[in-house]
Structure 1
Amino acid sequence: MARSRSRRRPRPRPSNRARAVAPGPATAAPAAGSTAAEDPGPPAIGPDVDVPEVDVPEVDVPDVDVPDVGVPDVDLIDIGYVARPHGVRGALRVVTHHPESTSLLEVDELYLGRRRYRITSARPVQGAVLVELDGLRDRTRAESLRGRAVAVARDAIELDEGELLLADLVGCAVVLPDGSAYGTIAGVEVGPQDRLVIHDGPIERLLPLVPEFVVDIDLDAERVVVAPPEGLPESRRR
């Protein structure tokens, strides 16, 4: 049985510009015989002074390795999204892409974007899973996560015999029972009826993911054998 699938530049500040200050009005020359004091004119400027040059020694600054403090590179499987907050204490209502997915009940951590959170509580409800995360304790912060994709680490999901992840089907070649090519799986549409999105050149086909139509899956060979029903609709890729 198939399981859940994988799926700011600061505003430039204006530069400081020197302001041009308009000169004051010109002073008229005193009339002849006037007792007004003569304009002494601009102050005298002293002799030029030579300022010796100073040699500034160069200082070698050693290279410093800055440690990477980001989230380590983890192979993530997109399993759903945050539908909305639940209650006033920061719980999240998470809707999984596959209604029957139990991944959130089986893992200890989840990822929102590339940020990792530890799960403190998870319980299924009608149409969703209510999740509580370590450090998330108020509705305001929970509201800011509305719509975020929810992912889990691939290696945290334990698969039973015969199970697979829908994400692993993407990229597999599709062939008919007689071996003739039928396209490549470009994606998986999940819902009440999961469907393989098969691209064959300019043609797109949506094939229901049911045993009657999907005859064999060989992930090692990256090949899926299908027996599509007669008259399966086709459309041109956008």
Structure 2
Amino acid sequence: MNDQICVGAIAGAFGVQGEVRLKSFTSDPEAIADYAPLTTEDGSQSFEIQLTRAIPQGFAARLTGVRSKEDADALKGIRLFAPRDRLPSLLDDEYYHADLIGLAVYDTGGVELGRVRAVLNHGASDILEITTPGNSAAILLPFTLAAVPTVDISAGRIVADPPEGLFD
């Protein structure tokens, strides 16, 4: 399990006064500010966050040390992380995406299907992107109880019951 969880990303500058466009990946988008200070993935930078207003696909925000449009533009694409212990506890059937990436995926008969490369969400629900041995194309598996009846983080495995023909 990762000690740091990605909770947001900087999408670029917002205006000319040093505000940034901030995308929140938290279940309650405004809660991202509650987990500050947030750090870059390598831990080289740390930011306190003040959300100034909601904007399409995120927030306008002020970050400590960011005073100009140029400072904000330089941070475009930076992902922001919070320590796991600062985040809320999860229910039994909830998972941080970071904990699912890399897990082996098995079918209900115990045959390994592949590994989780990414967790995608395009609005409706999460989708597991699974890489399979000897195949360059990824398989997209809905992350629903019907398609993924078992997730065992401690054992490092997922049991899937994929729709017929998905892994053929």
Per the shorter chain, which TM-score range? 0.7 to 0.9
1:111 aligns with 2:42: no
1:124 Cα shift? 4.3
Q: 1:122 to 1:176 in 2, by over 3 A?
A: farther
Distance 2:164 2:28 in 1: 31
DSSP-derived class of the 2:71 partner: helix
Note if contact 1:169-1:185 (Cα within 8 Å) is conserved in structure 2: yes
- Tell me the alpha carbon deviations over residues 130-184 of structure 1, each in whole angstroms, 9 at most, x when there is no partner: 3221232332321222222232233322223222201101221211223232222
Alignment of 1:84-123 (within 5 A): 84-96=12-24, 98=25, 100=27, 102=29, 104-113=32-41, 114-121=44-51
Name whichever structure is richer in helix by fraction.
2
**Residue 69 (structure 2) aligned to one of 128, 133, 139:** 139
Q: Do structure 1's residue 201 and structure 2's residue 129 form an aligned pair?
A: no
Residue deviations 1:178-231 (CA, integer Å, cap 9, x gap)? 323222222223333432122231133221222221111111111111111113
Q: Whole-Å Cα distance in 2 between the matches of residues 171 and 84 of structure 1? A: 29
Question: How many residue pairs get matched?
Answer: 160
Q: What is the CA deviation profile of residues 41-98 of structure 1, one whole-angstrom value per residue up to 9, with x for unaligned ones? A: xxxxxxxxxxxxxxxxxxxxxxxxxxxxxxxxxx4323442212123332211124x5
Counting only pairs closer than 5 Å after superposition, residues 1-238 of structure 1 correspond to structure 2 as 75-96=3-24, 98=25, 100=27, 102=29, 104-113=32-41, 114-121=44-51, 124-162=54-92, 163-192=94-123, 193-203=125-135, 204-232=138-166
Distance 1:233 1:216, change over 3 A: closer
Deviation at 1:99, TM superposition (A): 7.9
CA contact 1:81–1:150 (8 Å) conserved in 2:
yes
How far apart in 1 are the matches of 2:162 and 2:13?
Answer: 42
Tell me the TM-score normalised to structure 1 length.
0.58
SS at match of 2:48: strand
One-letter code of the match for 2:100? L
| AA in 2 matched with 1:182 | L
Distance change in 2, residues 1:223/1:233 (3 Å): closer
Deviation per CA, 1:17-49, whole angstroms, max 9, x where unpaired? xxxxxxxxxxxxxxxxxxxxxxxxxxxxxxxxx
For structure 2, list consecutive stretches of 5 or more residues without a partner in the other structure. none
- What TM-score does the superposition give when structure 2 sets the normalisation length? 0.78
Letter in 2 for 1:190: N
3-state secondary structure, aligned to 2:146: coil
**Counterpart Cα distance in 1 of 2:166 and 2:49:** 43
**Structure 1: 4+ residue segments shifted above 4 A:** 98-101
Matched residues in 2 for 1:199 and 1:147: separation?
A: 25
Identity fraction in percent: 28
